[in-house]
Amino acid sequence: MNQRNCQNQPPKPAPKAPVVVDFVAPRARLVVEVDGAQHRLRRAADARRDAKLARIGYRVLRLEAGLVMRHLPVALGRVREALAP
């Protein structure tokens, strides 16, 4: 490739940084995060992660770990609602 070809190419978009999540439904563009007690101290960090995921097209459903552990049918119902069209 010569210099002239390089000058005519549009800039490439920056790669998307990976984000580790609890569960993801890629086709539905849904991330499910199960938040334990430590997340009460991380609300600002979680909000930044949620915003980052939203920028790349994902919705985030946050469920309290206690809900998942003690009332799994309710938690699964919320996931189903989030997946519904």
What does the domain layout of the chain look like in residue ranges?
Answer: 22-83
Q: What is the dihedral of CA 31, 34, 37, 41, to 10 degrees?
A: 0
pLDDT at 15 over 70: no
Q: Each residue of 24-34: pLDDT tens digit?
A: 999 999 999 99
* pLDDT score recorded for residue 62: 96
pLDDT at 21 over 60: yes
Classified as helix, coil or strand, 70 is helix
* CA dihedral (35, 41, 44, 49) positive or negative: negative
Helix (H) or strand (E) holding 3: helix 3-8
Helix (H) or strand (E) holding 2: none
Name the pTM for this structure.
0.75
Residue with tokens 């920056």: 14
Q: Each residue of 34-73: pLDDT tens digit?
A: 998 877 778 899 999 999 999 999 999 999 999 999 999 9
